[in-house]
């Protein structure tokens, strides 16, 4: 599978990372559960400092499930990792506003 093309259910959200966590540390950690397709560490746009979270896309759903089972709650230094399936922004909006009607995409222009 090409880099960056992992399906959404293979993309994991990693929270509570130490600010010093590196790409290579995550690669070493997650590759024990399957092939890693992509890793992104999040940084604050203004300061450039790590935000303590990131995304890891596994090559297969089986690898993603194994990583969640094996790494969620793992103590990494003084931090306890939270590993779960990443949701798309659309899914997050739908969950936060369950009674909200979908926005109409077409508008009449006069």
Q: Which of 101, 104, 86 is nearest to 9 (CA)?
A: 86
Place of tokens 């092939």: 35
Query: In this structure, is residue 103 part of a structural domain?
Result: no
Beta-carbon contacts of residue 20 (< 8 Å; ≥ 6 apart): 50
102, pLDDT greater than 80: no
Separation CA 71–CA 14 (nearest Å):
10
- Burial of 76: CB neighbours in 10 Å, binned 0-12, 13-18, 19+: middle
Query: In this structure, is residue 95 part of a structural domain?
Result: no
Query: In this structure, is residue 38 part of a structural domain?
Result: yes
Q: What is the CATH number of the domain that holds 17?
A: 3.30.70.330
Total tally of structural domains belonging to the chain: 1
Query: In this structure, is residue 70 part of a structural domain?
Result: yes
| Residue range of the domain that includes 24 | 8-82
pLDDT digits (tens, 9 = 90+) for 13-66: 999 999 999 999 999 999 999 999 999 999 999 999 999 999 999 999 999 999
Query: Which pLDDT value is given to residue 87?
Result: 86
Query: In this structure, is residue 68 part of a structural domain?
Result: yes
- Burial of 71: CB neighbours in 10 Å, binned 0-12, 13-18, 19+: buried
């Amino acid at each position: 599978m090409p880099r960056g093309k992992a399906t959404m259910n293979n993309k994991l959200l990693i929270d509570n990372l130490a600010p010093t966590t590196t790409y290579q540390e995550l690669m070493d950690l997650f590759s024990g559960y399957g092939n890693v397709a992509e890793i992104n560490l999040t940084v604050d746009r203004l300061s450039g400092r790590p935000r303590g979270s990131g995304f890891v896309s596994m090559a297969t759903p089986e690898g993603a499930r194994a990583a969640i089972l094996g790494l969620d709650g793992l103590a990494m230094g003084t931090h306890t990792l939270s590993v779960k399936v990443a949701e798309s922004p659309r899914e997050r909006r739908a969950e936060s506003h369950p009674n909200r009607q979908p926005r109409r995409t077409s508008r009449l222009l006069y």
